[in-house]
Amino acid sequence: MPTLRLLTYNVRSMRDDRDALGRVIRAAEPDVVLVQESPRFLRWRSLCAELARRSNLVVVSGGRPAGSNLILSTLGVDVVSTRDVLFSVDPMMHQRGTALAVLTKEGARFAVAGIHLDLEEAPRLRHVGELDRVIAQSVPAEVPVIVAGDANDGPDSLTWQALAAERQDAVGVARGNGTFTWSGEEPGNLIDGIFVDPRLTVVSAQALGGPDVAIASDHRPVLAELELQPIGSAT
């Protein structure tokens, strides 16, 4: 079966050590990266392109039109379709959204959706519902979907439970108890997750650490290795 290395990473708008950020992503050797807090203001397109270059990847979709969710990939991943969506917004809150892409790798088709949810529970839960509707509208039923990003809430929360209601919590499946992503220097909370269609197999999932991780962002990235289903195989 083909495998997918998927990384989710809140890069804090590249405000920290950009060289270290590039090294962290390259060292993980991901096929696909779902980025949160990609640059959203002045020169955001060129800065997203810079992040891709530093990572030895290419931009698939996202950025400001997706609420600063960005999808990067290697050239070994083919793009079938993309969609950038903005969620409903509450007064005095940041604009949230999702970057969604249907992709293929080595004969296996799958979809990814990047998220960065709100700081308050009510809009977080509402946006999970909006995300599920966007996926249902945009992704054929036979294509497995991986949702990943910064949930701004932990595994015991209603938000995390909603994301994992019909998906596998990759860190939980991989028995990654004690895996923390916030904050980058002294992590004590898990708020970044990867939620995987049950038709796919979670091989491993873990938060990454090391000296570069501590200075590249205020979050630690999460890397999962997933076993994909070739097109036409039984599920």
10-residue mean pLDDT series, the chain (235 residues): 96 97 98 97 95 98 97 98 97 94 97 97 97 98 98 96 97 77 77 97 94 96 95 58
**C-alpha span between 196 and 204 (Å, rounded):** 12
Q: Please name the residue ranges forming H helices in 93-169.
A: 121-138, 158-163
Q: What is the pLDDT of residue 101?
A: 98
Closest-CA residue to 113 (of 78, 46, 67, 154): 67
Q: What is the pLDDT of residue 73?
A: 98
Q: What is the pLDDT of residue 234?
A: 46
Q: What is the pLDDT of residue 42?
A: 87
Residue/partner pairs of 76-85 with CB below 8 Å, 24 or more apart: 76/31, 76/105, 76/106, 77/31, 77/32, 77/103, 77/104, 77/105, 78/103, 78/104, 78/105, 79/103, 80/104, 80/109, 81/138, 83/134, 83/138, 85/130, 85/134
* Burial 2-41, CB ≥16 within 10 A → b, else e: eebbbbbbbbbbbeeeeebbbbbbeebebbbbbbbbbbbe
pTM: 0.95
For every residue of 190-221, DSSP letters joined together read: --EEEEE-TTSEEEEEEE--SHHHHHH-SB--
Q: What is the pLDDT of residue 235?
A: 45
For 215, counting Cβ atoms within 10 Å of its Cβ (0-12 exposed, 13-18 middle, 19+ buried), the class is middle
Tokens 């028995």, residue?
175
**C-alpha span between 55 and 53 (Å, rounded):** 5
The dihedral formed by the CA atoms of 32, 71, 159 and 176, expressed in degrees to the nearest 10: 20
Q: What is the pLDDT of residue 232?
A: 65
**C-alpha span between 72 and 62 (Å, rounded):** 9
Q: In this structure, which amino acid lies at residue 120?
A: E
Partners of 153 in beta bridges: none
Q: What is the pLDDT of residue 179?
A: 77
